[in-house]
Structure 1
Amino acid sequence: MQKTEKIYGIRAVIEAIHTDETIDKVFLQKGLKGDSYRELETLIRKKGINTAYVPVEKLNRLTKGNHQGVIAHISPISFFELEELIEGTLNSKKQPLFLLLDQISDVRNFGAIIRTAECTGVDGIIVPRKGAAPVTSDTIKTSAGAAFKVPMTKVNHIKDAIFYLQASGVKVVAATEKTENSIYDVSFKGPCSIVMGSEGMGISPSTLKSVDEKAKLPMLGEIGSLNVSVACGVFLYEVLRQRSLS
């Protein structure tokens, strides 16, 4: 069942964090002071919650209630722990498929990717705690409900997940134009994962250095790239194509 998408008020947000609600992002009014506010800031830093400091006008647009300078977005889904997701999948499948999203920020792109991931049998989606698109009602709608079906996990850094996957025997392939390798020259048989980069910046350089292989899509037109959700779909269906030939 979908939870309330926003909560507001300093004490309400503190209590939500203490009760382990899945909070995607907290908006804090610039310049706030006071003991309760400092308590909230300390708790947010400790939990590694995505935070934005904004003017009061922004908060007033987000809610008509007495927000006290604090609004939190609550995720409508629950997230798995990384180890639980990967180990559980590896114990039940011979050819697991994971998807890592490096700073995908558009909620509709995120939703479209989740929908394709569900259709292609992705076993888990991994996103960073900070800088990633939240799971909102728009995400749920664009995913056609798939957000409730595909397991997801958040990590402090995408590289943490890459190292854990590699140590678990899962190959990590980056979708990037910064390579000479075509997607059709890379094997996706066996346990593997695909890294997709953000809409504007692609995959971060440090993340690219960590992967096992890189692959690009052939581009014949004048436009140099595809929408990330479309590119992700091409990669995921290439995985299915290769595995169907096994």
Structure 2
Amino acid sequence: MRKEATIFGIHPVQEAVSSNVIIDKLFVQKGISNPKIDAIVKELEKKHATISYVPFEKLIKLTQGNHQGIVAMTSPIAFRDLEEIVENVIGTKENPLFLILDQLSDVRNFGAILRTAECTGVDAVIIQKKGGAPISGDTVKTSAGAIFKLPICKVDHIKDAIYYLQGSGVTVVGATEKTTETIYDLKLNMPLAVVMGAEDKGISKSVLSLLDHKASLPLLGQINSLNVSVACGAFLYEIVRQRSL
């Protein structure tokens, strides 16, 4: 287990990168011009870190110190290669189950989903490098340790991961209210990937168009939405229920 940390300032971040510390997310001040920062960004792009250009005020909130225009957040885990994981799982399991998170932003939702995923036998969780929640201490705590037991794969684009899974014989189902079909209408005893969308906007339009199936949950009250971690739990346990019959 690695301890996550926030590193700020040009020299400390340079040292972390040169020491092969796993950087989960890099924040760079918008509009800043510094060749040393440019070199750090170029190096981390090669390592597929998430890089965000943010206002000066954002960096102040992250550090409350002399950040010099750059802040790095390290990861407590090592990310896994998607193709390697999919190949291994499909080769050893009849009905593998993957979970794709399309740019969730809340670290506690992320952690709660990882906990449920581990409990329901998910074989790997797939997230996008840009736009999602970083893996922080809150994520680790909320996951109750599940984050260290589940392979987590970071990909450049969710769409490419879906194409790869479909090409590997995996059916991809998305959780969305934009359908009349519910999760209870689908047969789920097959190699499967479930896509959950972001808290505010759900699954992105470009991803929705790629899905093999769209499924919703019945909402019988006056509120027309569920917390994403609750909805994910309902989806995953319906898969468990069908597969246990």
Name the TM tier (shorter chain): over 0.9
* 1:93 equivalent in alignment to 2:102: no
Partner of residue 142, structure 1: 142
State how far apart, in whole Å, the 2-side matches of 1:39 and 1:190 are: 46
AA paired with 1:143? S
Partner of residue 183, structure 1: 183
- Relative to structure 1, the CA distance from residue 94 to residue 18 in structure 2 (aligned partners, 3 Å threshold; closer, same or farther) is farther
- Relative to structure 1, the CA distance from residue 232 to residue 244 in structure 2 (aligned partners, 3 Å threshold; closer, same or farther) is same
- How does the TM-score come out when normalised to structure 2? 0.93
Offset, 1:47: 4.3
* 1:236 equivalent in alignment to 2:212: no
Partner of residue 62, structure 1: 62
* 1:192 equivalent in alignment to 2:192: yes
Offset, 1:20: 4.5
Number of residue-to-residue matches in the alignment: 245
State how far apart, in whole Å, the 2-side matches of 1:70 and 1:100 are: 30
AA paired with 2:132? A
Partner of residue 80, structure 2: 80
Q: 1:2-81 to 2 correspondence within 5 Å?
A: 2-64=2-64, 66-81=66-81
Secondary structure of the corresponding residue to residue 116 of structure 2:
helix
Offset, 1:34: 2.5
Secondary structure of the corresponding residue to residue 84 of structure 2:
helix
Offset, 1:213: 0.9
Offset, 1:2: 2.6
Q: 1:144-163 to 2 correspondence within 5 Å?
A: 144-163=144-163
Secondary structure of the corresponding residue to residue 229 of structure 1:
helix
Offset, 1:30: 3.1
Which whole-Å deviations, capped at 9, do the CAs of 1:150-183 have from their partners, x for residues lacking one? 1100111111111111111111111111111111
Secondary structure of the corresponding residue to residue 53 of structure 1:
strand
Which whole-Å deviations, capped at 9, do the CAs of 1:192-224 have from their partners, x for residues lacking one? 110001101110111111111111111111111
AA paired with 1:86? V
Secondary structure of the corresponding residue to residue 187 of structure 1:
coil
State how far apart, in whole Å, the 2-side matches of 1:49 and 1:85 are: 20
State how far apart, in whole Å, the 1-side matches of 2:57 and 2:133 are: 22
State how far apart, in whole Å, the 2-side matches of 1:182 and 1:113 are: 20
- Relative to structure 1, the CA distance from residue 17 to residue 83 in structure 2 (aligned partners, 3 Å threshold; closer, same or farther) is farther
Secondary structure of the corresponding residue to residue 112 of structure 1:
helix
- Relative to structure 1, the CA distance from residue 63 to residue 98 in structure 2 (aligned partners, 3 Å threshold; closer, same or farther) is same
Offset, 1:28: 1.4
Alignment RMSD (CA, Å): 1.7
Unpaired segments ≥5 residues, structure 1: none
Partner of residue 169, structure 2: 169
State how far apart, in whole Å, the 1-side matches of 2:99 and 2:81 are: 15
AA paired with 1:71? V
Contact 2:4 2:136 in 1 (8 A): no
Secondary structure of the corresponding residue to residue 234 of structure 2:
helix
AA paired with 1:202? G
